[in-house]
């Protein structure tokens, strides 16, 4: 089946993936110009909502109170998150005790108590933990009783903490089974609310995991369909297949599609809504492609229950919504579309930094995400023939603005179970009529709660979050109701000043190595074409002694992944060649050392830039000669670039100026770092570029000359690297390339007088 519409959207989705915020945000602000006349009314409504929330009687169990009590910026909050995330994931008692001892014994839990059973229970467990663990570290003076508590404390603590987690589970999980969740829904005090059930847990790691999740979804669909309460189901694609990733498009189109289609077919029979949840940014295009396949499947035609979630913090939010609108009109259906702000922000930022991307796939400021959300809401409301809008928000200002522009169109709000209920109670009270909303309700055993809970606390626990601010009565109402459009428009730089772009995360000292955005199809396809073009010509790796390529007996090199495919030839150097290299390296080392660390650092930095310019060629050789996957080859390449820049920076810092040493009065002692002579660098095969380059670069940075011997399996990769180092300015007499047999050349290396 051909996903023709997604192919039409690929260019713009590619363009927007990592677009500069200073380019994109003005466009989003322009989309929000029509909201300006509604701003005053929205602020008045939002003020009434907030005042209504704060006038409500506090509940006995409320996440808002938990967020204020254990702020994520505090020592207690950090410790609580560490324990909550890890405690029930650790299988053995010894390690769990070590975690408790490490994280819980240094905090002041007493300060966080409150007249609230939910919060007091958690505080009691945390406070007891600290007290007992302190007893183990010093003489408490409690005598036998104190020692008994110290000895028995950790099992008691584990039980208490697990009970606290279970208590929180009852607050944030609607039921441990779907039948229990439905029964609890029937007792729900909000008769005008519906629910969307989600099977609690993270993505599948094995086929057995996927089968278990599939069974849970199938059981839930039957149960919810038979209950006939107007509820729906939310599905995570990552739960239904362990390889739901851009690297496995065929498995997504066949295996994952088959699983989702079966669930959708059952849901259609009950006329039940199913929403495909949004996940990480690198899964957006695969999910849109699969969604189009479902929408075009004849067996699902005529069903308006096929829904999709879209994340406003992603830079491609409006393009994804435009795709949904176009698909709905093309397939003659209305698509329920849940607009969310997004729950993976921290990991998206960190992944972009680790992978060396040019920019971030998400906005770096919360206000910009709010602007994107409002722009997306307007777009959704402009297409009532294509979209049934579902606005997932816990923010009073966002909800108030939507109420100004929704008019008489059909819509609903959505909130998380255990969070945000006071917002919609207050909104309904202010309006004098019930506001339609749906509760996103996790279902599953409490031991699966922690990852979900931590994600929600991280999402809503930041001090810029409305959920956090509404709970802290010290924060003025006016501060919570800032106009995100106006605030963002007034920013001279739309990028957050404290969030460096991925290339700049190491500051002025050095640049981060570049990593191509492989999940993006157009960039990936271009890289693969460049790699294939380079491999059309056979490659020859010959010894390079004093800048001259030597001749000799050529050996044909074959692709280790396909022994029928010849890659080119390599030439081993002789023992005489090595002896000559050692002599030249000895005589040139002094001048290289005298050049100084700063000059050597500039040459190595230039080499890093050349490596990046020739990335397709280097990656091609690593893939073919080294037998690596594309991602593995890129990782190897990036590590080599990092070595060049890191050692170059170290050379400039450590080998340029002396270190003043302490000494007697009137005497001045200085320590100067200098090169030691000739270094022989013998690289292994497992990282054919990174280790080869790292060894040689460290020695060169320190002012030494280098005899570089590559692994016998990968001389071509190393040969290309040496040529680039020479091109960058490393003197040919300082760096020599000596491929050959280790047993044959080792004797010369060891016995050399240099």
pLDDT in tens, 702-715: 999 999 999 999 99
Helix residue spans in 296-420 (DSSP H): 317-330, 345-354, 366-381, 396-405
pLDDT surpasses 50 at 412: yes
For residue 744, give every residue at least 6 positions away whose Cβ sits within 8 Å of its Cβ, in sequence order, or none: 572, 575
pLDDT surpasses 50 at 379: yes
Instruction: Point out which residues pair with 73 in neighbouring strands.
Output: none
- 724: confidence class by pLDDT, cuts 50, 70, 90: very high
Indicate the burial class of 461 (C-beta count within 10 angstroms; 0-12, 13-18, 19 or more).
Answer: buried
- 186: confidence class by pLDDT, cuts 50, 70, 90: confident
pLDDT in tens, 221-238: 999 999 999 999 999 999
pLDDT in tens, 64-82: 555 555 454 555 555 555 5
For residue 196, give every residue at least 6 positions away whose Cβ sits within 8 Å of its Cβ, in sequence order, or none: 231, 232, 233, 234, 273, 275, 414, 438, 439, 440, 441
Stronger pLDDT, 542 or 445, i.e. the higher one: 542
State mean pLDDT over 21-31. Answer: 97
Token pair in block for residue 30: 């322009």
pLDDT of residue 93: 65
State mean pLDDT over 436-442. Answer: 92
**Site of tokens 């996957």:** 629
pLDDT in tens, 280-331: 999 999 999 999 999 999 999 999 999 999 999 999 999 999 999 999 999 9
Indicate the burial class of 672 (C-beta count within 10 angstroms; 0-12, 13-18, 19 or more).
Answer: exposed
**Site of tokens 């790796």:** 541
What is d(CA 30, CA 495) in angstroms, rounded to the nearest whole number?
18
pLDDT of residue 26: 97
Q: What is the percentage of the chain residues whose pLDDT exceeds 70? A: 81
Token pair in block for residue 347: 């990991």
pLDDT of residue 658: 84
> Can you count the helices (H) and strands (E) in the chain?
30, 18
State mean pLDDT over 51-62. Answer: 70
- pTM comes to 0.86
Which H/E stretch holds residue 220? helix 207-227
Q: What is the percentage of the chain residues whose pLDDT exceeds 90? A: 66
Of 357, 349, 397, nearest to 377 by C-alpha is 397
- 156: confidence class by pLDDT, cuts 50, 70, 90: low
State mean pLDDT over 16-26. Answer: 97
pLDDT surpasses 60 at 182: yes
- 100: confidence class by pLDDT, cuts 50, 70, 90: low
Q: Answer yes or no: are the C-beta atoms of 699 and 725 closer than 8 Å.
A: no
Token pair in block for residue 580: 């000559």
Stronger pLDDT, 129 or 187, i.e. the higher one: 187
Q: Answer yes or no: are the C-beta atoms of 51 and 125 closer than 8 Å.
A: no
pLDDT surpasses 70 at 695: yes
CA angle, corner 676, sides to 671 and 682, nearest 5? 135
What is d(CA 57, CA 572) in angstroms, rounded to the nearest whole number?
83
For residue 189, give every residue at least 6 positions away whose Cβ sits within 8 Å of its Cβ, in sequence order, or none: none
pLDDT in tens, 484-533: 999 999 999 999 999 999 999 999 999 999 999 999 999 999 999 999 99
**How far from 584 is each of 444, 587, 589, 701, 734, CA to CA, in Å?**
70, 5, 9, 18, 8
Query: What are the b/e assignments for 262-298, b being 16+ CB within 10 Å?
Result: ebbebbbebebbbbbbbbbbbbbbbbbbbbbbbbbbe
Stronger pLDDT, 252 or 670, i.e. the higher one: 252
pLDDT of residue 675: 92
State mean pLDDT over 591-613. Answer: 96
For residue 250, give every residue at least 6 positions away whose Cβ sits within 8 Å of its Cβ, in sequence order, or none: none
pLDDT surpasses 60 at 461: no
What is d(CA 725, CA 712) in angstroms, rounded to the nearest whole number?
20
pLDDT of residue 660: 86
Stronger pLDDT, 7 or 165, i.e. the higher one: 7
Token pair in block for residue 482: 């800032």
Q: Mean pLDDT, the chain, as a whole number? A: 86
pLDDT surpasses 50 at 120: no
What is d(CA 663, CA 105) in angstroms, rounded to the nearest whole number?
44
pLDDT of residue 140: 39
State mean pLDDT over 538-549. Answer: 94
pLDDT surpasses 90 at 449: no
Q: Is residue 442 helix, strand or coil?
A: strand
**How far from 710 is each of 306, 520, 538, 573, 734, CA to CA, in Å?**
56, 34, 19, 12, 16
Give φ, ψ of 198 to 5 degrees.
Answer: -125, 135
Per DSSP, the residues of 657-702 read: SPEEEP-STT--EEE-----SEEEEE--SSSTTHHHHHHHHHHHHT
- Give whichever of 75-84, 558-567, 688-697 has the largest mean pLDDT: 688-697
pLDDT of residue 174: 87
State mean pLDDT over 106-124. Answer: 44
- 128: confidence class by pLDDT, cuts 50, 70, 90: very low
């Amino acid at each position: 089946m051909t996903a023709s519409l997604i192919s039409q959207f690929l260019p713009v989705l590619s363009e927007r993936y990592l677009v500069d915020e200073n380019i994109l945000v003005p466009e989003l602000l322009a989309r929000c110009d029509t909201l300006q006349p509604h701003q005053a009314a929205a602020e008045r409504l939002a003020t009434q909502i907030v005042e209504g929330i704060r006038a409500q009687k506090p509940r006995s169990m409320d996440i808002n109170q938990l967020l204020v009590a254990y702020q994520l910026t505090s020592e207690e909050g950090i410790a609580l998150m560490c324990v909550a995330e890890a405690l029930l994931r650790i299988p053995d008692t010894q390690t769990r005790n070590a975690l408790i001892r490490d994280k819980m014994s240094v905090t002041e839990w007493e300060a966080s108590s409150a007249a609230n059973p939910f919060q007091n229970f958690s505080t009691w467990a945390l406070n007891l933990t600290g007290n007992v663990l302190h007893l183990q570290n010093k003489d408490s003076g409690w005598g036998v009783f104190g020692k008994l508590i110290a000895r028995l404390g950790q099992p008691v603590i584990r039980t208490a903490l697990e009970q606290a987690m279970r208590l929180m589970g009852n607050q944030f999980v609607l039921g441990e089974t779907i039948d229990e969740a439905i029964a609890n829904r029937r007792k729900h005090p909000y008769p005008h609310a519906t629910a969307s059930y989600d099977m609690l847990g993270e993505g599948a790691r094995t086929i057995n995991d996927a089968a278990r999740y599939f069974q849970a979804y199938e059981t839930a669909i039957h149960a919810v369909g038979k209950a006939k309460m107007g509820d729906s189901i939310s599905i995570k694609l990552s739960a239904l297949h362990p390889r739901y990733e851009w690297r496995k498009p065929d498995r997504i189109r066949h295996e994952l599609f088959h699983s989702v289609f079966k669930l959708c077919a059952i849901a259609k029979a009950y006329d039940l809504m199913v929403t495909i949840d949004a996940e990480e940014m690198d899964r957006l295009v695969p999910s849109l492609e699969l969604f189009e396949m479902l929408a075009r499947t004849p067996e699902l035609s005529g069903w308006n229950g096929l829904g999709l979630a879209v994340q406003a913090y992603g830079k491609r939010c409006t393009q994804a919504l435009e795709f949904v609108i176009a698909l709905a009109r093309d397939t003659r259906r209305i698509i329920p579309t849940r607009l969310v702000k997004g729950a993976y922000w921290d990991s998206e930022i960190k992944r972009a930094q680790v992978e060396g991307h040019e920019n971030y796939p998400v906005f770096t400021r919360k206000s910009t995400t709010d602007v994107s959300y409002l722009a997306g809401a307007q777009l959704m409301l402009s297409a009532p023939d294509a979209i049934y809008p579902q606005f997932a928000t816990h923010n009073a200002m966002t909800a108030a603005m939507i109420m100004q522009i929704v008019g008489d169109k059909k819509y609903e709000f959505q909130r998380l179970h255990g969070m945000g209920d006071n917002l919609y109670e207050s909104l309904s009270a202010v309006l004098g009529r019930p506001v339609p909303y749906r509760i996103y309700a996790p279902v599953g055993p409490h031991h699966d709660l922690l990852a979900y809970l931590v994600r929600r606390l991280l999402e809503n626990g930041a001090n810029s979050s409305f959920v956090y601010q509404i709970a802290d009565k010290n924060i003025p109402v006016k501060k919570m109701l800032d106009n995100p459009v106006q605030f963002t428009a007034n920013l001279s730089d739309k990028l957050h000043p404290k969030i460096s772009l991925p290339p700049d995360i190491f500051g002025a000292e050095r640049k981060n190595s570049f990593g191509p955005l492989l999940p993006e199809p157009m960039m990936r396809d271009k890289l693969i074409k460049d790699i294939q073009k380079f491999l059309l010509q056979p490659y020859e790796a010959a010894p390079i002694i004093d800048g001259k390529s030597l001749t000799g007996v050529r050996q044909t090199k074959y692709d280790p992944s396909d022994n029928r495919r010849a890659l080119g030839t390599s030439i081993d150097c002789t023992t005489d060649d090595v002896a000559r290299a050692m002599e030249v390296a000895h005589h040139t080392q002094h001048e290289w050392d005298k050049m100084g660390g700063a000059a050597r650092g500039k040459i190595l930095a230039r080499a890093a830039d050349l490596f990046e310019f020739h990335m397709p060629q280097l990656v091609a050789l690593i893939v073919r000669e080294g037998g690596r996957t594309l991602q593995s080859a890129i990782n190897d390449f990036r590590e080599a670039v990092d070595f060049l820049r890191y050692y170059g920076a170290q050379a400039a810092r450590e080998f340029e100026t002396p270190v003043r040493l302490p000494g007697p009065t009137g005497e001045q002692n200085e320590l100067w770092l200098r090169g030691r002579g000739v270094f022989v660098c013998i690289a292994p095969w497992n990282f054919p570029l990174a280790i080869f380059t790292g060894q040689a670069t460290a020695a060169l940075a320190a002012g030494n000359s280098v005899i570089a011997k590559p692994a016998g399996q990968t001389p071509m990769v190393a040969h290309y690297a040496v040529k680039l180092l020479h091109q960058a300015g490393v003197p040919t007499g300082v760096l020599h390339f000596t491929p050959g047999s280790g047993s044959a050349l080792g004797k010369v290396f060891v016995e050399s007088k240099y």
